[in-house]
Amino acid sequence: MTQYHTINSRAPRIDAPDKASGKAQFIDDLNMSDQLHGAILQSPLAHARIVKIDTSRARKLPGVKAVVTAEDAGLVQYGVSPARYDETLFCHDKVRYIGDEIAAVAAVDRETALAAVSLIDVEYEELPLLLSVEEAMKEGAPLIHEDYPGNICAEVHQEFGDVEAALAECDIVRTDTFMNKMQNCAFLEPQGCIGHYDHRGYLTLYSSTQTPHYVQRTVAMTLKMPIGKVRVVKPYVGGGFGAKASANAMEMVACLLSMKTGKPVKMVFTREQVFLQARGRHKFVHTLTTGAKKDGTVVALKHNCILEGGAYASFGIATVYYAGSLLGGPYKLQHMKYDAYRVYTNKPACGAQRGHGGVIARAAWEQQLDVIAEELGMDPVEFRFKNMMNNGDTSCNDLYMSSFGMRECVEAVRDKSGWERKRGTLPRGKGIGMACGFFVSGAGFPIYRSETFHCTATVKLSEDGGAAHLYTASAEIGQGSDTTFAMITAEALGVPLNAVKVSSGDTDFGVDLGAYSSRQTLMTGFAVKHAAEDAKRQVLEVLADKLRISVSDIDVKDGTVIFKGPGITFRTIRNRYRKEHRGWTDMPDDAPLSFAEAARLAFIVKGTVIGQGEYRPRWLGGKFKGAAVGTSPAYGCSAQVVELRVDMETGQITIDNMTDAHDCGFAINRTSVEGQMQGSLLMGLGEALFEEVKFDQKGRMLNPNFGEYKIPTALDMPNVTPIIVESNEPYGPYGAKEVGEGAIMPTIPAILNALYDATGIRFHELPLTPERVYKAIKEKQCEAKAERGRK
Amino acid sequence: MKIVINVTVNQKNYELAVEPNMTLVDMLREELRLTGTKKGCGLGECGACTILLDGQPVSSCVMLAVEAHNRKIVTIEGLETEKGLHPIQQAFVEKGAIQCGFCTSGMVLSAKALLDDHPHPDEQDIRKAISGNLCRCTGYQKIVEAVQSVSEGEQTS
Ligand code: FES
Ligand code: FES
């Protein structure tokens, strides 16, 4: 047992009973009495000039209350990063992918709105399609955005150390190219929203978002409203994984339609629209040249990457940096050069997805490191021990490891999985592989350049002293943040968990940048801890004053005031409390002084007790261009061993076992940490084995549904042995740091390395479908036959 | 033209006039305001809208409301009693089987259908029974553990 009464336990989530009983309300469960329904006209063509938009037929349809186009919305440019604002609320000159928004309708019901949309006539002039980076980067290719020559959305060129010189001195140098396919976040709840512009000119947007704060700013900017008059409220959200981490057009459209009609306007995506909105994992092509010494020391990495971005920048400018910077860890690497391009194509925009930017780079590199280890005759585990960073190390790209349980993670998966017993002894068709992971614990800088606090938190004590109410604008999207912050509040204040109530996900509750970059436990948690401590301090000050003792002589634990010295009498406080509460049945008598009594006293003396906390990262260094992407107050790391089986006749892979260790600094809620690990592994498994968004020659998405875009079912996913490693992060609350995104990192490469162990084949393209695996097995058999023939 | 149907939902009888093309999930959510049944795809592919129809788990988004005429439906709202959560719901809470919760209603009902028929399923039976219910958050493991704990009598109502 720890010294804590609440944190580090397996407390059931505070939102679980409501979710188990069907009472928890998600966006589509909300309705307003006089609401209208909206629908959006989305482009049927992937690249075309808009010649004319005629909305007259739609306007005449009975039941239609408003029809809006770019003419009504204006042409304010927005996006995720101010450095790449390349979207307008509606297309006005051209459409850039199938799904691009052209116009929208508000009507009395959904059917009427949809009917009206189909009555909007648009005349297009088709433009040449650019459906691959090769086409888009070709000399003389038409431009998807006039301002971006060569269809290059963003490029990065970084060098740390001297890579060429270092490679020249290496004993072994290897180059490999690796690629994945476009992914979808595939959360279960489609995005939805209700925009409500009221008579006083205040706008409230209810939305299934991960980032109320950024949505508030984007909506205010595009609709030309003061930020203070825009409120964003997040009900329960059914998963996000990145695609809900920025404002989407639907949110702004609903608000605009509400401004036009004076009524609330509701919209919910269909599953197909979820796929078209996309903003999930990019398609990456990584070419990695790694140099190592004979003794196994990895010295240099030359890394080129091309990202297919789709029609808009979205998170892409961050993605392209992360894809390079996240290879700065977890190994000591002195020389690293990174050159990358993110390219526009006529497909839905890619954005951020769990493990933002780093997942495919990690897969490519961890596989290549395995190859190098083998060539050097080293065990993959030993090879990693040889190279890993330790506590206090700084990477060549200036990432500082303030806590780093990498060694503990590797040792844990090695021992728990039976690695030493199994490695090299499994029969053909069975394999075991391992890999490591590394990720930020929150982005060191906000998406817009600012010195803003990243989070504020408020803990308000009820006047009777019996309950604490935490207000935070952070986003519970399923990961369990409300529970985490309730636990932190309880611990820091010294009250039982059930005395804490949480209100979150509302921009009226403060500033919080939201759920992305695996940031909330460390950042919001820090602010929450401080707010609770501030409230506690105020109560203790009043109490100390009354009792004429020093604050340092009192503490609070689990609802009880603890006096460090002897002989302190609190009779008068108790008597007063008892007098106030005649008729109550739970009056304190012989019991020690309760926090509630002390907090009541504080209220009587000074009014409502409100504790405040804020968080802003310390200065994180990094003077080079792009240093803002990858620097973090702390880094999570992980290791994983995967065991799998391949049907050599069909190419079908079955994952039998996954052993996963993650250094989360300190587990606030152990069950939630495991849940994040298990969920991450599921997503990694799906990406490795079958997830791929497909398109035809016209840029039409072929599989925008769960029937053809397969995500893992209960039959695909094995049991995971989760191991929590706690390295005590000095900059995190109680030592806590991230787990939510970083946990996905080692999964794909561990599968690739196990697949090699099973088949003797290295794969350089995802997903590992039966077809791809079968083909490779057959090719290898043919080669072997030919080889035997030659002998 | 609306059609009048008689349907029992969570042991209550309703007489409803519904459009012939209204789906069962929309009838539950919009007519009866039972929003515990979720809509994740509308195509019968995710299981979020799972309900029990005469005891069998079905996707209510690919059924018409009129098909429920004279039949008995149980939705997630029908499991809780005055004694509190149903043991399966309680197990989901305690085992950490719920993250975002969007798949939970369907999962719980699929699990209930399984346990009603086979009170002591093995792990593979459980995985099969929930294989039509997608979950993107949990990796399924804690869901399987929750169902197992009910079958092993760890949970009592
Ligand atoms: S909503 Fe019915 S199966 Fe997905
Ligand atoms: S808990 Fe989110 S989909 Fe299952």
CATH architecture of the region B87-151: Orthogonal Bundle (1.10)
* Contacts (Cβ under 8 Å, ≥6 apart) of A450: none
Beta strands A653-663 and A720-725, pairing class:
parallel
Atom of ligand 1 nearest to the CA of B49: 2
Q: Residue A269: is its pLDDT beyond 50?
A: yes
Kindly report the nearest CA distance between residue A99 and chain B, in angstroms.
18
Domain B3-78 has CATH 3.20.20.370: no
| Residue-wise pLDDT tens digits, A446-467 | 999 999 999 999 999 999 999 9
Atom of ligand 2 nearest to the CA of A188: 3
- Pick the ligand that lies closest to the CA of residue B99: 2
- Neighbouring C-alpha atoms within 13 Å toward the C-beta of A173: 14
Kindly report the nearest CA distance between residue B70 and chain A, in angstroms.
24
B144 vs A587: CA distance, rounded Å: 44
Q: Which residues of B touch A270 (CB under 8 A)?
A: 42
Stretch B21-41: mean pLDDT: 98
Kindly report the nearest CA distance between residue B102 and chain A, in angstroms.
5
A35 vs A106: CA distance, rounded Å: 10
- CA torsion, ordered B99, B100, B106, B111, to nearest 10 deg: 0
Position A599 scores a pLDDT of: 97
Name residues 95-154 of chain B within 8 A of A (Cβ): 95-96, 98-105, 108, 126-128, 130-144
| Residue-wise pLDDT tens digits, A584-614 | 887 777 789 999 999 999 999 999 999 999 9
Is the shortest distance between the CB of B100 and ligand 2 below 6 Å?
Answer: yes
Kindly report the nearest CA distance between residue B76 and chain A, in angstroms.
6
**pTM exceeds cut of 0.80:** yes
Q: Is B32 on the interface with A (CB under 8 A)?
A: no
Buried/exposed A405-435: b ≥16 CB within 10 Å, e otherwise:
bbbbbbbbbbeebebeebbeebeeebbbbbb
Position B39 scores a pLDDT of: 98
The residue whose CA has the least distance to atom 4 of ligand 2 is: B135
| Residue-wise pLDDT tens digits, A609-663 | 999 999 999 988 777 888 888 899 999 999 999 999 999 999 999 999 999 999 9
Position A468 scores a pLDDT of: 98
SS3 A372: helix
Entry field: residues in chain A:
791
Q: Which residue has the higher pLDDT, B111 or B151?
A: B111
Q: Residue B156: is its pLDDT beyond 60?
A: no
Q: Residue A549: is its pLDDT beyond 50?
A: yes
Is the shortest distance between the CB of A478 and ligand 2 below 6 Å?
Answer: yes
| Start and end residues for every CATH 1.10.150.120 domain found in chain B | 87-151
- Pick the ligand that lies closest to the CA of residue B49: 1
* Contacts (Cβ under 8 Å, ≥6 apart) of A629: A318, A321, A322, A325, A443
| Residue-wise pLDDT tens digits, A663-708 | 999 999 999 999 999 999 999 999 999 999 999 999 999 999 999 9
Q: How many CB atoms lie within 10 A of CB A766?
A: 26
Instruction: Sketch out chain A's domains with CATH numbers.
Output: 16-22+453-615 (3.30.365.10), 31-127+188-239+244-277 (3.90.1170.50), 283-445+622-781 (3.30.365.10)
Q: Which residues of B touch A679 (CB under 8 A)?
A: 99, 136-139
Position A698 scores a pLDDT of: 98
Stretch A247-270: mean pLDDT: 98
Q: Which of A340, A380, A349, A212 is nearest to A281 (CA)?
A: A349
Residue in chain A closest to B47 (alpha carbons) equals A188
| Residue-wise pLDDT tens digits, B91-118 | 999 999 999 999 999 999 999 999 999 9
Q: Residue B111 has which token pair? A: 């699990």
Residue in chain A closest to B101 (alpha carbons) equals A19
**What does DSSP assign to residue A376?**
T
Q: Which of B52, B53, B66, B56 is nearest to B22 (CA)?
A: B66
Is the shortest distance between the CB of B12 and ligand 2 below 6 Å?
Answer: no
User: Which candidate from A13, A189, A672 shows the least CB-CB separation from B102?
Assistant: A189
- Percent of chain A past pLDDT 90, that is, above it, reads 95
Residue-by-residue DSSP string for A506-529: BGGG--B--S-TT-HHHHHHHHHH
| Start and end residues for every CATH 3.10.20.30 domain found in chain B | 3-78
- Neighbouring C-alpha atoms within 13 Å toward the C-beta of B77: 17
| Residue-wise pLDDT tens digits, A160-169 | 999 999 999 9
Q: Is the ipTM of this complex over 0.95?
A: yes
Q: Which residue has the higher pLDDT, A6 or A627?
A: A6
Position A1 scores a pLDDT of: 45
| Residue-wise pLDDT tens digits, A65-84 | 999 999 999 999 999 999 99
User: Which candidate from A236, A706, A714 shows the least CB-CB separation from B140?
Assistant: A714
Helices (H) and strands (E) in chain B, counts: 5, 5
* Contacts (Cβ under 8 Å, ≥6 apart) of A409: A436, A637, A638, A639, A661, A662, A663, A723, A725
- Model confidence band, residue A563 (pLDDT cutoffs 50, 70, 90): very high
Judged by CB atoms closer than 8 Å, whether chains meet at A22 and B43 is answered as: no
Stretch A707-729: mean pLDDT: 98
Q: Residue A2: is its pLDDT beyond 90?
A: no
A518 vs A245: CA distance, rounded Å: 12
Strands (E), A293-403: 298-310, 335-344
- Beta bridge partners, A66, equal A106
